């Protein structure tokens, strides 16, 4: 990825002409945690179906700086060796750019009895405090000192102790962090009010396969019996399909395709989205590992009220892409974003494209539709809003330029090439070169 890359997209002007198949890659939100979990291993393991995205590259660089040997032995396939892992201080230059780096603190603290880390970074989508992490570490017997924006956490006697931790708010990252910390802690750790996302379940099952003792996966109470370092013994973990990526392309199909099949996915992980789309009038078929969207071209979609919620509710990460769909639905739709505040800031740019959105506060907005969109030059504020802007550019009339593609690269592998394969005209322009075209397009 080159910073300041941008997409130049020739909009379809509302025509539903895209056609083909899209294969879904591995789940970003599981891949990052499985890689972070390598800290718990005495030896190492391999992992397949890892998305080739910027966040994965960052966390691998972070692990390598800690002493983990990582071999990229094939596309979407990595092998990790932790036998020379010695470092417990997270490098600030990476951690400050990667929110998911916080999840490594739990395993590192459990393994070494000490961890040093800066305040983590990532997308700016509202307040994401680390109070839950610091509070949980204290309950597990750790002392915390802060020097500016750097935290030093040390376990008494060099070993975390099991504790009962109640999450005031359901948090995927906090649950995974303390689930992994509990694997090497002394005694039993009980986590309450846990979310039930498939990625948490898959991570826990993988750790159990390698020697962890975790029960209650898929429920709101998870129990971890502490033990020794895990042993990979040459095992390979297969990453779940990315349900957010799958959902994004299903929404694309509803907006702009005559027929689009999203394959290599888990349709049962997408029930909330497909239920909403079906209610709005989208023609959806599902199979064992695929979802197909078809349009005749004269569909009229119905406005909806959408409230984001932890899994299995409507995903917050699909709220922005789904809002693009709602700009094309007849009537007034209501969006209630319950997970993150400030995640509605992207609507200003959509209004400049012709949408009619009224933001009521940091959590709620009203969308009137349908409204035709016109191409504009817009800047991605974060990963999911960036993808939403790509969807808006696709259905708009005229040409759009989407800046800050580095945000989109954090979660979607080679998205421009995949869109071109469906019939879209999109170019990636790098740096200051306004004439450089994506290699997947012939130069005119």
Domain boundaries, the chain: 6-25+241-429, 28-228
Q: What is the pLDDT of residues 342-377, one digit of tens each?
A: 899 999 999 999 999 999 999 999 999 999 999 999
Token digits for 293? 């969207």
Q: How confident is the model over 170-177, as a mean pLDDT?
A: 96
Retrieve residue 305's tokens.
């009220």
What is the structure's pLDDT at 342?
Answer: 81
166-175, 375-384, 431-440: range with lowest mean pLDDT: 431-440
Asked which of 153-157, 186-190, 234-238, 438-442 is least confident by mean pLDDT, the reply is: 438-442
pLDDT bin (cut points 50, 70, 90) of residue 113 is: very high
Do the two domains 6-25+241-429 and 28-228 of this chain adopt the same fold? yes
Distances (CA, A) of 287 to 253, 258, 259, 266: 16, 19, 15, 9
- What pLDDT is recorded for position 97? 84
Q: Which residue has the tokens 């996302």?
A: 197
How much is the average pLDDT of 194-219? 98
Angle of CA points 244, 266, 31, to nearest 5°: 55
**What is the structure's pLDDT at 439?**
42
Please give the model's pTM, rounded to 2 decimal places: 0.94
Specify whether the CB–CB gap between 122 and 95 falls below 8 A: no
Q: Alpha carbon 110 to chain centroid distance?
A: 25
User: Among 19, 13, 12, which Cα is nearest to 249's?
Assistant: 19
Distance CA 241, CA 227 (A): 30
Q: For the domain with range 28-228, which CATH number is right: 1.10.3720.10, 3.40.50.300, 3.65.10.10, 3.90.550.40?
A: 3.65.10.10
Closest Cα to residue 38, out of 73, 66, 75, 77?
66
pLDDT at 443 over 90: no
3-state secondary structure of 355: coil
More confident residue, 2 or 247: 247
pLDDT for 274-325, tens place per residue? 999 999 999 999 999 999 999 997 889 999 999 999 999 999 999 999 999 9
Query: In this model, does residue 3 exceed pLDDT 90?
Result: no
Question: Could you tell me if 82 and 39 are in contact, meaning their C-beta atoms sit under 8 angstroms apart?
Answer: yes
Fold of 6-25+241-429: UDP-n-acetylglucosamine1-carboxyvinyl-transferase; Chain (3.65.10)
Residue from 105, 97, 309, 91 nearest 197 by CA: 309
| 123 a catalytic residue | yes
Percentage of the chain modeled with pLDDT above 90 = 88
Question: Where are the alpha helices (H) located in 257-399, listed in sequence order?
Answer: 271-280, 319-326, 347-352, 383-395
Say how far apart CA 265 and CA 22 lie, in whole Å.
10
Phi-psi region for residue 339, left (φ > 0), alpha (ψ -120 to 50) or beta?
alpha
pLDDT of residue 123: 42
The token duo for 426 is 């999109």
CA–CA distance, 116 with 229 (Å, rounded to integer): 21
**Active-site option among 123, 210, 265, 438:** 123
Whether 226 and 187 have beta carbons less than 8 Å apart is answered as yes
Q: Which of 151-160, 297-306, 365-374, 429-438 bottoms out in mean pLDDT, i.e. has the lowest? A: 429-438
Mean per-residue pLDDT, 1-17:
87
DSSP code of residue 413: T
Q: Is the pLDDT of residue 440 over 90?
A: no
pLDDT at 60 over 80: yes
The pairing of strands 257-263 and 426-429 is unpaired
């Amino acid at each position: 990825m080159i910073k300041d890359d941008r997409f130049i997209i020739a909009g379809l002007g509302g025509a539903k002409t895209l056609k083909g198949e899209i294969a879904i890659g591995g789940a970003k939100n599981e891949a990052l945690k499985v890689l972070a979990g390598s800290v718990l291993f005495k030896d190492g393991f391999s992992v397949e179906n890892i998305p080739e995205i910027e966040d994965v590259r960052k966390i691998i660089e972070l692990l390598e700086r800690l002493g983990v040997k990582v071999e990229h032995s094939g596309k979407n396939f990595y092998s990790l060796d932790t036998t020379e892992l010695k470092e417990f201080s997270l490098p600030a230059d990476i951690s400050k750019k990667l929110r998911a780096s916080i999840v490594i603190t739990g395993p590192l603290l459990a393994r070494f009895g000490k961890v040093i880390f800066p305040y983590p970074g990532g997308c700016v989508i509202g307040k994401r405090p680390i109070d839950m992490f610091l509070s949980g570490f204290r309950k597990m017997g750790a002392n915390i000192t802060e020097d500016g924006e750097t935290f030093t956490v040390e376990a008494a006697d060099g070993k975390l102790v099991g504790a009962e931790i109640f999450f005031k708010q359901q948090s995927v990252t906090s649950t995974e962090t303390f689930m992994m910390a509990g694997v090497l802690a002394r005694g039993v750790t009980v986590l309450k009010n846990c979310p039930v996302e498939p990625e948490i379940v898959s991570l826990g099952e993988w750790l159990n396969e390698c020697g962890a003792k975790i029960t209650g996966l898929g429920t709101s109470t998870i129990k971890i019996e502490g033990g020794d370092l895990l042993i990979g013994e040459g095992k390979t973990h297969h990453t779940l399909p990315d349900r957010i990526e799958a959902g994004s392309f299903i929404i694309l199909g509803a907006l702009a395709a005559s027929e689009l099949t999203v394959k290599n996915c888990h349709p049962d992980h997408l029930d909330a989205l497909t239920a909403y789309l079906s209610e709005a009038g989208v023609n959806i078929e599902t199979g064992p590992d695929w979802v197909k969207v078809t349009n005749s071209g004269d569909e009229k979609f119905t406005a909806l009220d959408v409230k984001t919620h932890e899994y299995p509710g409507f995903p917050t990460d699909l709220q922005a892409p789904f809002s693009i769909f709602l700009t094309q639905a007849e009537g007034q739709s209501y969006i209630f974003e319950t997970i993150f505040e400030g995640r509605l800031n992207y609507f200003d740019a959509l209004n400049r494209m012709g949408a009619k959105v009224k933001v009521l506060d940091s959590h709620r907005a009203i969308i009137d539709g349908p409204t035709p969109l016109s191409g504009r030059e817009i800047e991605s504020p974060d990963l999911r809003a960036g993808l939403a802007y790509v969807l808006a550019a696709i259905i708009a009339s005229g040409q759009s330029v989407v800046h800050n593609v580095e945000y989109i690269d954090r979660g979607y592998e080679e998205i421009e090439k995949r869109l071109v394969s469906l019939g879209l005209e999109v170019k990636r322009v790098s740096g200051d070169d306004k004439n450089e075209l994506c290699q997947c397009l012939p130069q005119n």
